[in-house]
Chains A and B, each alone.
Chain A
């Protein structure tokens, strides 16, 4: 674990996102687009945000919510937030 970033962050996030939007984690690839491939809408994007914030005790900024489009994007958002948290920003 570096900067409080879990080693298995990708798998954790796949499970968290799948549970939140009601699919199996196996359906999620790192580049799967939630909106175009899985029918995620702005309501579910907010639900994913809530789930991320609760799980990792971080704050996702308003302008990052529309960027919640792929697992890869979510990993970057969570890493960024965890790093800021560990840096005390």
Chain B
């Protein structure tokens, strides 16, 4: 039997280089407050490389009014170090919960967490392994070290910090900070994680596992990820993301995270909650061709978008505004533009399209949720900010990209994403009358 529960969004919490918290975030986008910095990477005392980054200059987890003892517990577990992306996750949950004004009793709580991250713990763990291997390599010059000796030392040092790359531990930390004890999940669907997480949260509420779900994602840049993308030749050498542009030359990272509170419409209305939009539904598939490139010529992305319409009983002509992945890399932009035109036709009047990555950078596993927050603010303010840096649209792409800020009545919007490994996703949001 079809579940009639309607799922709505009642809280948002963005953390980004343009601003932290919904007001600063939206103001930052409207004012085009781009905070692009050249990050120098040092290994020991030597500079290795440098890369452009949409950087968060001021962030202190102590400023968010979170239980200090619990934050200290995490720090202690992490052997005295702050893992910045975990702090972004915690702050995003707090901002979204505060914004929703949702109250819950920790003894009888019906609140779930759905968290997502593409690379959690990779950087600290990678550096620790590198440091250990280096120390032992230096040592090796004096004494021959067997594989067993190396493994014994490795195991001793990483017995605890191995948890850094095990996602259940981070779900545990966040749940403990907020006294959340209901059914909770940690997901990783690469850049599409945020949209998969919203769908999972929606199902959790519909199935009665929880009455509200906080969805949160975060990601931050580091040398490992940069070198990966640089080697794939998809990192912009001049630090500009130019979605769908003739002269696009790759992406640029952007630090941050996002939180979204979802609950059923009945509960939200009962407590007079602010409602940003109804989550109408989504379409998802896994192309599974290659990890790092989409299959040009395949129709799987188009099918994911079409299935969002089918699952939601929505006509494509109802979509006023569409936010694509828009990473500014030729093959991925081509794949995405083709899916859009296959679904909506060539140069249609609707939907109007804006990509937010030139403002926020590519927030990787958190990008889809962070851009969904921007989309929800567009929907609520009836404003579509322009896509920056696309001076000349690639003539191969027949899409209606917004170049100048548009103030227009918006009712329904769609966020789409084609992620690494072929995780395709499309989610639909509608204003509540």
Q: Point out residues on A near B: beta carbons under 8 Å.
A: 41-43, 46-47, 50, 62, 65-66
Contacts and interface: CB of A to CB of B under 8 A. Distances in A.
Given A41-B330, A43-B334, A47-B297, A62 B233 contact: no
- Chain B interface size range: 10 to 19
Contact of A66 (B233, B329, B334): B233
B42 to A, nearest CB: 27
Given A62-B291, A66-B233, A50 B297 contact: yes
A42 B292 CA distance: 12
Nearest to B292: A62
A56 to B, nearest CB: 16
Interface of B: 233, 290-297, 329-331, 334
Given A43-B331, A50-B295, 6 more contacts: A43-B330, A43-B334, A46-B294, A50-B296, A50-B297, A62-B292
B295 A42 contact: no
A62 B293 contact: yes
Contact of A46 (B233, B291, B293): B293
A62 B295 CA distance: 11
B58 to A, nearest CB: 38
9 contacts: A42-B233, A43-B334, A46-B293, A46-B294, A46-B295, A62-B290, A62-B291, A62-B293, A66-B233
Given A41-B330, A42-B330, A43-B334, A65 B293 contact: yes
B331 to A, nearest CB: 5
Contacts of B233: 42, 66
A78 to B, nearest CB: 17
Contacts of B295: 46, 50
